[in-house]
Amino acid sequence: MDTLVPFCTDISPDSDIAKGIACRATKATAVLKHGLGKIFQDELCDNVRSPGRFFSLVMDETTKVSEIKQCAFTIIFYDVTKVKTRFLDMVSTEKGDGASLYDCLKSTSAKHKIPSRNMVGFSSDTTNVMVGEYNSMFSHLKAKLPDIQIQNILM
């Protein structure tokens, strides 16, 4: 935004509207986060909510040791002519064990009203809390959705 506003003024020197634009990083962030971001997120969720609109979810949690963990969710889905990958959400959770991460996934899905029956794939990194045999994110997910395809990614 620091370069876009001066560019608009430069290419439209006779425009009073272009001269009156006042938008820097703070305002642009607010517009994207609370305006356009919400619209894009709603459109994405509507897409994967529809019956028969299957998707895969990619989840990545922070590896930093702290009291609050961050989890990022990305959705991969087919939309009319191509496969699309879109950022869904970034949420916080206090615990980083498999059950807590699974609960984080469930609450994020519930928050966006995304049905788990449409989720056909899940992917994450290879940390033990995500892919371990016992009490991992994968083990909890497989217990709920036994037919889901699970793929771990080496990072």
The pLDDT assigned to 106 comes to: 93
User: What's the predicted TM-score (pTM) here?
Assistant: 0.74
Which tens digits make up the pLDDT trace of 68-123? 788 999 999 988 889 999 999 989 888 888 899 999 999 999 999 998 888 999 99
| CB neighbour class for 34 (10 Å; exposed up to 12, middle 13-18, buried from 19) | exposed
* Domain annotation for the chain: domains and CATH numbers: 1-49 (no CATH), 51-155 (3.30.420.40)
* pLDDT (mean) for 133-141: 88
